[in-house]
Structure 1
Amino acid sequence: MAAKVALVTGASSGIGEAAARHLRDAGFTVYAAARRVDRMAQLRAVGIHTIALDVTDDDSARVAVEQILAEQGRIDVLVNNAGYGSYGALEDVPLTEAQAQLDVNVLGLARMTRLVTPHLRAQRSGRIVNISSMGGNFTTPLGAWYHASKYAVEAISDALRMELAPFGIDVVVVQPGSIRSEWGAIAAAKVLETSGDGPYREQAAAVANALGNSSRPDARLTSSPAVVARAIVRAATARRPRTRYRIGFGAKPLVLAHRILPARVFDLLIQRAVGGGA
C-alpha cells in the first residue's frame, strides 16, 4: 500500500521542521510547507517535498493543496503548525497587528482545514492535528492576542472533532510547553517593539527576557522540538488518538495549576515566573 501523505505547515523551523522529519521517519510521504522555501533545503535533501505556502492567502493555500493531490492523489494528515507569537500590551498593539495574529494562528488554520476536509471526507479517513499551546489554557502578561488565538484553536478543534467524527476523521490538539526554537526570540523582539517604551516598558523587558531565553541552544527549563514532533507522530498514527497531547516543559503542571488554583494565586505565579508583575 502506498505511503500515507502528510502536510505540515510552518515547516521551515522549530516544531514544524522536526515534525516533518519525524513523520518521514515514520513512513509518511511528507510535504513541508512554509512561506520561504529556501529555508527548507535541508528537508528537501532528505527526501521531504517542500512547497511554498502562505496560510493567510487563499490562492497560495489552494495551489499547495492542489499540488499535493495532483502528485499523490490523497492527503491523510494535516498538521496545522504555522503560527507566531504577537506580544505587547493590549493598549499598545495596533488592531492591524491583532488582525495579523488571528489571520495566521486562527484563520490560517481554518483555511487549510477547509481545503483538506473534503478530501478526507471522500476517503472516510484522516487526521487533522492542530498545534495549540499550553497557552491555550491560560494567559501570560502582554500576550493577550497570542493567547486569544490559541484559545480559539482549542474551541475550533473541539467543534471540528464532533463535526468530523461521523466521517472517520480524527481531530487532535497538541499543546506544547516551553520549547527551544526561534519562536521565543521573535516573540521577544515583538514585545520590545510594541511595548518597550512607555508605561509597560518594565513588564516588556522582563517578558522579553523570559521569551528570549527559551530560544538559546543551552536554555534550561525548555524542551526540544523533537519532543513535540514525537507527539505529533503518535497523534497521526495511533488507532485511537487522544483528543489532546500535552507535551514539553511546563505544559502538564502549569495547566493543572491553572485548573486547581484560585485565579489571583495563579496570576501571581505567572507574574513571578515571567517577570510581568507591576
Structure 2
Amino acid sequence: MTETVLITGCSSGIGRETALSFLADGWEVYATARNPADVETLGEEGATIASLDVTEDDDVERVVSRIVDEHGHVDCLVNNAGYGQPGPVEDVPVDRVHDQFDVNLYGPLRLIRAVLPHMRERGTGTVVNVSSAAGRIAVPGMGIYCGSKFALEGVTDSLRGEVAEYGVDAVLVEPGPVDTDFHDRANGEIEGIERSGAYERFYQMYGDRQAVDGGMPGAVSPKEVADTVLDAANVQDPDPRYPVGTSAKVAEYGRFVPAKWRDRLYETFSELSTSDWAKKLFG
C-alpha cells in the first residue's frame, strides 16, 4: 500500500522541496498552497495538487476528506505553511498578531484535528510540524513570530504524549536560517506595522544584515530540511525534535544559558550590526 502525505505551503522553499523528496521516495503526495497555480510544476512531477488556505476550516476539511476518499488514509501530515512577522512587540498591531498565529499555529491545529481521527482509527500516522530554532530561543525584533513557534512547540510536545497510545507520532523539525525567500516575505510584513520610533535599530539591523533569512552564516538549504522531514516520517520511532543546521543545534543548548547572558549577547550583536564598520562590511 502506497503511503500518503499531505504537505502545506508547497509553493516554494521548504514545502516544495519536501514534496519532491517524498515523491522521490515513492509516496503519494498531496502538495497544497493557497494558490494552486503556485504548485502546478509539482503536479507535473507527479504530486496531486490542491488549493488549501490553512486559515479556512472548509478548505482543510475538503482536502483531508478528498485524500481519505481517494486513498482511505493519511499516513503523514507535514504542517509547513507559515511566515514571519517581524517588528518589536510594541509596534505590531494586534490584528497582525492574530494573522501570524492564524497561519503558524491555528492552521496546523486545524489540520491536526482533521487528520487525527483517521490516524487513530488505523493505529498509525505521523504529524510533522515544521517549527524553527526561533521556537526554542526568542530573539528581539521577532517576538510575534517567535511566540507563534514557541506555541507550536508546546502544542506538539503535549500532542506527542496524547497520541502515542494510538500509534501516532508527533514530531518537530526545527531549522535555523534557511536559504529561501523567507526574508522577502518578512520584509513585506514590516509595511503597515505601527512604528513607535523607539526601535529603529532593530529595523536597521534586519534591513542591513538581512538577519532573518538565508543571508546569515550557516544557512541550510531547503533540501536539507526536506530530507529531515522525510526521515522523520519514515523511521519507526522518530525523535521528538530534529534541529537542522548549526544555528538550530546551538539553539538547543542556548536554552540552558542564563537569560541575562543571552540578553547581553543580543545587545552586543545589535550594536555590532548597526555600527559603521559593520555597515561597510555587510552593507
TM-score, with length taken from structure 1? 0.92
For residues 98-177 of structure 1, what are the structure 2 equivalents within 5 Å? 98-177=97-176
Tell me the CA shift for residue 274 of structure 1: 5.7
Which one of the candidate residues 246, 264, 270 is aligned to 1:268? 264
Query: What runs of 5+ residues in structure 2 fail to find an aligned partner?
Result: 276-283
Q: Distance in 2 between matches of 1:100 and 1:174?
A: 22
Alpha-carbon distance in 2 for matches of 1:228, 1:74:
25
Aligned Cα root-mean-square deviation (Å) = 2.0
**Helix, strand or coil at the partner of 2:197:** coil
1:44 aligns with 43
Aligned partners of 2:177 and 2:214 also within 8 Å? no
Provide the identity percentage: 34
Q: 1-side partners of 2:126 and 2:146: how far apart?
A: 24
In the TM superposition, what is the alpha-carbon distance from 1:183 to its structure 2 partner?
Answer: 1.1
Shift of 1:201: 2.0
**Matched residue, 2:231:** 234
Query: Deviation of residue 188 (structure 1)?
Result: 2.6
Gaps of at least 5 residues in structure 1 are none
Task: Measure the CA separation in 2 of the matches of 1:262 and 1:174.
Answer: 25
Q: Deviations over 1:208-263 (max 9, x none)?
A: 333467346xx64311011111110110000111111011241111331332x221
Counterpart amino acid of residue 3 in structure 1: T
Aligned CA distance change for structure 1 residues 200 and 99 (closer, same or farther; 3 Å): same
More displaced 10-residue stretch of structure 1: 42-51 or 219-228: 219-228
Structure 1 residues 73 and 257: CA distance shift in structure 2, 3 A: same
SS of 1:78's equivalent in the other structure is strand
Instruction: After TM superposition, give the deviation of residue 108 of structure 1 in Å.
Output: 0.6
Contact between 2:93 and 2:194, CA under 8 Å: does it hold in 1? no
Contact 1:179 1:249 in 2 (8 A): no
User: Are positions 1:11 and 2:17 aligned together?
Assistant: no
Letter in 1 for 2:190: V
Alignment partners' CA distance in 2, 1:238 and 1:65: 23
Give the C-alpha shift of residue 196 in structure 1: 6.1
Indicate which of 229, 244, 247 corresponds to 2:241.
Answer: 244
Q: CA distance change for structure 1 residues 245 and 211 in 2, over 3 Å: closer, same or farther?
A: same
Q: 1:26 to 1:273 in 2, by over 3 A?
A: farther
Partner of 1:86: 85
